[in-house]
Structure 1
Amino acid sequence: MKIEQIYTGCLAQGAYYIESEGEVAIIDPLRETAPYLKRIEKENAKVKYIFETHFHADFVSGHVDLAEKTGATIVYGPNAKTSYDIYQAKDNETFKLGKVTIKALHTPGHTLESTTYLLIDEDGKNHALFTGDTLFLGDVGRPDLAIKQDITKEDLAAMLFDSLRNKIMPLADNVIVYPAHGAGSACGKNLSKETVDTLGNQKKTNYALRADMTKQEFVDEVLDGIMPPPQYFSKNAMLNKEGYSTFDDVLEKGDVPLSPEKFELIANQEGALLLDVRTQDEFLKEHIPNSIFIGLNGSFAPWVGALITDLKQPILLIVPEGKSKEAVTRLSRVGYDNTLGYLDGGIENWKKADKEVATINSITAETFQEEYNDSLNILDVRKPGEYESEHLEKGITFPLDFINEHMGELDKNKKYYVHCAGGYRSAIAASILKARGFENLVDIKGGFGALKNTEIPKTNYSCPNS
């Protein structure tokens, strides 16, 4: 028996490869199928099952493409309704895979169809549990993504309590827990950086598995402090239910080099969004006017999903050399399949063609301290919790997550200094503001991490005069 966790850090997502006697099961695969196909070819194995723990909201799964290429059966748990062929498992139904067995445990709460998969070894012992978004390390899945007219988030949280107590916690402490996500995912609040643990340790350390917790206490704690889900979550869940374009077609259409003239022509004809995925320093120094920055070196796909509201939006890319395929792939993982090409030769080629470039002023924390006075307009684009922990006394909370909804609160005639925690999000925010007509912007390099070392007045809710 072989178990391999295929972890993708930029999405904080874990897919799983299980093999026994040449038969393979894949759990929650990513959009691109090549990694799985290479593994089965290397092992001379065959994919028998593709198990989906639920309709994922934070990424587009590769189950449909993978099934078409391998002939494997897609398995969901109860309550899953799709536009393509699946096998809908019953609660406690078992599936043979070589010498091992996989048992479906229906565990609703994160979503109604949420199902965990228990791996039973060839000796009949419970070995591992693939928990999807039902149980994370240090947390559980948020119960506010599948609410309906007659089902509230409180109802789902109560279901999750029952699922954990009745299906998961009775299992032995030595069962290994393999979750679908780790730290950085928006599917939970306090996920661990670790990606594998024992159930026994989780019973000791995970607040949601506290033995003496009442159902109401669980509901209150799980729902406390949950931020609204990113706008793309519901759209990705729908793609996972209804199917999507093949990844091969998306890559063929999007990974196309374009001359500056062709790039500009397509941008104008298609109304394409110009997405610059270089580093923030490179973007701030010079970029194509009206382009938006979201760098590959940060949480690229989640920020694309949070900020670009139309999955069908035509996109043209400005990429570092050799990174076009990666950019198209990572866009497709969250359902953005309408990339039309990338600027061949990048900014240097753009300038050689005598095309205009723009810049955004970026200063150090030390320079900002010299310019600081009480009349400055300072936008803190970190998350509300980060702002509450500590912020500049004169800083205004303006979370990047909600920039599209609150743009109207700003004045284009004013000068704004923008910062985040380290510089990545402030560059995104500044790029969006610049593209919307805000010309007087200053980015603060190093963000609050650098500002903490200055003498500029700061405050937090626990120490208002600090």
Structure 2
Amino acid sequence: MNIEQIYTGCLAQGAYYITSNGEAAIIDPLRETSPYITRLKNDNVKLKYIFETHFHADFVSGHLDLSKQTGASIVYGPNANPDFEIISAKDEQIFEVGNIKIKVLHTPGHTMESTCYLLIDENGKDHAVFSGDTLFIGDVGRPDLAQKAASMTQDELAGILFHSLRNKVMVLADDVIVYPAHGAGSACGKNMSKETVSTIGEQKEKNYALRANMTEAEFISEVTDGLLPPPAYFGMNVAMNKKGIPSFENVLNNGMKEINANEFEAIVEDSGALILDTRNSGDFAKGFVPQSINIGINGDFAPWVGALIADVNQPIALITEIGKEEETVTRLSRVGFDNILGHLKGGFDAWKAAGFDVDTVNRISAEQFEKEVKIGESKIIDVRKEGEYEAEHVEDAFSKPLAYINNWVKDINPNEHFFLHCAGGYRSMIAASILQARGYRNFSEIDGGFNAIAKTTELPRTDFICQSKVL
């Protein structure tokens, strides 16, 4: 028996590849199937089952392509009713893979079809539980995402989750390994650990939601407290996972189409495409195609695309670093952005060489900011998360998280200068590009963000508070 966790940091997502005696199972696969197909061939095993823990909201699964390519059956737990053929498993149903067994544990609450899968080893011992979004390391799944589909309130779903955890998960032996679907950084929970593997015993000891003698009322209150609004793309990803999606190969082929500089502007205008520039923030600041939005590929790229671009059907024209085209298309497809028209051939340098208009961002150093800012008079906008801001910030700075820019941008006075920063420059450049695309140019964005500002000596800042105390 072999278990491999395939963890994708950008999405904070864990898929699982399991083999035993010539057969394999995959749990919660990502959109692109080639890594799994390669593993199957190298191990000379046949994929028997594709297990889905629930209809994912934060990424588009590769179950359909994988099933078509291998003939493997797709398995969901009770209450799943997608528009394609599946095995709708019953609670406690057993599936055999080689010499091991996988037992269905229906654990509704995060969603009503949410299911954990218990792996029973060759000796009949409970070995590991693949907990999906029911149980994370340090947290549990948020109960507010399925309210509309389940016709329930988040409190009602949280109550169901309370009983699922106590009746199906916490009764497992302390040495059973916990393999969750997500880790820190995912929007599917609020307090997840950076660790991606644990045990039932460790979680009963350390996870606030599995506290001994915890009442249902306490659980509901604590699990629902402080939940941020889910990213805009979540509902659309759920629909895609239920209804079926285009083949990843088709999406990739479209995205890899080269558009020369002379055609790029016309294609964008005719299609209403959004120009997405995925270069790093420093290069973008020095020059970019006017109206471009910068979300760098070397960061939490896909989640930020999903959070800030409201419609997964939005046509997108790409500008990337040379050689990053395929990676960019792949990562967009993982969160359902399939309408990619192609990419600028030769990248931004080709655009510049063709003599077309170029825009820039007024990016200044932390040292220049220190010289120019007047605390109490100058306006400073901090686009970090609320918890980061509360932990420590420049005195008199306004907290305007990037995730909510579509709400607060309308409050900006276009005639009043302001300074803009995040933690390191990644998020503030996203904000800067959005602001300039909407006609705001009255700001200075700070290179290096708060990390660089904190190294200055003269700027007053609030006292540092450990973020775990404010999140």
Is TM more than 0.5 here? Answer: yes
Within a 5 Å distance, the mapping from 1:162-177 to structure 2 comes to 162-177=163-178
Q: Which residue number in structure 2 is paired with residue 66 of structure 1?
A: 66
Q: C-alpha distance in 1, partners of 2:465/2:251?
A: 50
Q: C-alpha distance in 1, partners of 2:308/2:463?
A: 28
Within a 5 Å distance, the mapping from 1:19-418 to structure 2 comes to 19-148=19-148, 150-373=151-374, 374-418=376-420
3-state SS in 2 of match to 1:96: strand
Displacement after TM superposition at 1:452 (Å): 2.0
1:456 partnered with 2:420: no
Q: C-alpha distance in 2, partners of 1:262/1:24?
A: 47
3-state SS in 1 of match to 2:147: coil
Q: C-alpha distance in 2, partners of 1:298/1:429?
A: 15
Displacement after TM superposition at 1:461 (Å): 10
3-state SS in 1 of match to 2:435: helix
3-state SS in 1 of match to 2:303: helix
Q: C-alpha distance in 2, partners of 1:385/1:151?
A: 29
3-state SS in 2 of match to 1:124: coil
Displacement after TM superposition at 1:441 (Å): 2.1
1:4 partnered with 2:7: no
Displacement after TM superposition at 1:105 (Å): 0.1
In structure 1, the gaps of 5 or more residues are none
Q: Residue 441 of structure 1 is aligned with which of 434, 440, 443?
A: 443
Displacement after TM superposition at 1:459 (Å): 2.9
Q: C-alpha distance in 2, partners of 1:357/1:137?
A: 46
2:116–2:129 CA contact under 8 A, matched in 1: yes
2:50–2:74 CA contact under 8 A, matched in 1: yes
Per-residue Cα deviation, 1:287-327 (whole angstroms, up to 9, x for no partner):
11100000001100000000001111111111011000000
Count of aligned positions: 463
Q: C-alpha distance in 2, partners of 1:397/1:171?
A: 44
3-state SS in 2 of match to 1:357: coil
1:50–1:74 CA contact under 8 A, matched in 2: yes
Per-residue Cα deviation, 1:355-399 (whole angstroms, up to 9, x for no partner):
111111111111101001132121111112222222222211111
2:177–2:199 CA contact under 8 A, matched in 1: yes
3-state SS in 2 of match to 1:263: helix
3-state SS in 2 of match to 1:122: coil
Displacement after TM superposition at 1:161 (Å): 0.9
Displacement after TM superposition at 1:438 (Å): 0.4
Q: Which residue number in structure 1 is paired with residue 432 of structure 2?
A: 430
User: Over the residues paired in the alignment, what is the CA RMSD in angstroms?
Assistant: 1.3
Q: C-alpha distance in 2, partners of 1:452/1:212?
A: 43
Q: Which residue number in structure 1 is paired with residue 469 of structure 2?
A: none
1:388–1:460 CA contact under 8 A, matched in 2: no
Per-residue Cα deviation, 1:117-176 (whole angstroms, up to 9, x for no partner):
000011110001000000001111111100137411001111111111110111111111
Q: C-alpha distance in 1, partners of 2:240/2:254?
A: 19
* One-letter code aligned to 2:120: I
Displacement after TM superposition at 1:338 (Å): 0.7
Q: C-alpha distance in 1, partners of 2:308/2:181?
A: 24
* One-letter code aligned to 1:57: A
2:51–2:75 CA contact under 8 A, matched in 1: yes
* One-letter code aligned to 1:284: A
Report runs of 4+ in structure 1 exceeding 6 Å deviation: 460-463
Identity %: 60
Displacement after TM superposition at 1:239 (Å): 0.6
Q: C-alpha distance in 1, partners of 2:224/2:77?
A: 25
1:251–1:329 CA contact under 8 A, matched in 2: yes
Normalised TM-score (structure 2): 0.96
* One-letter code aligned to 1:139: D
In structure 2, the gaps of 5 or more residues are 467-471
3-state SS in 1 of match to 2:234: helix
More displaced stretch, 218-227 vs 388-397: 388-397
Q: C-alpha distance in 2, partners of 1:452/1:107?
A: 45
* One-letter code aligned to 1:207: Y
Q: C-alpha distance in 1, partners of 2:96/2:272?
A: 51
Q: C-alpha distance in 1, partners of 2:228/2:393?
A: 19
Displacement after TM superposition at 1:46 (Å): 1.0
Per-residue Cα deviation, 1:70-125 (whole angstroms, up to 9, x for no partner):
11111000111101111111100000111110000000111111000000011110
Displacement after TM superposition at 1:460 (Å): 6.3
Per-residue Cα deviation, 1:325-374 (whole angstroms, up to 9, x for no partner):
00000000000001111111112111110011111111111110100113
Change over 3 Å in CA distance of 1:362–1:258 after alignment to 2: same
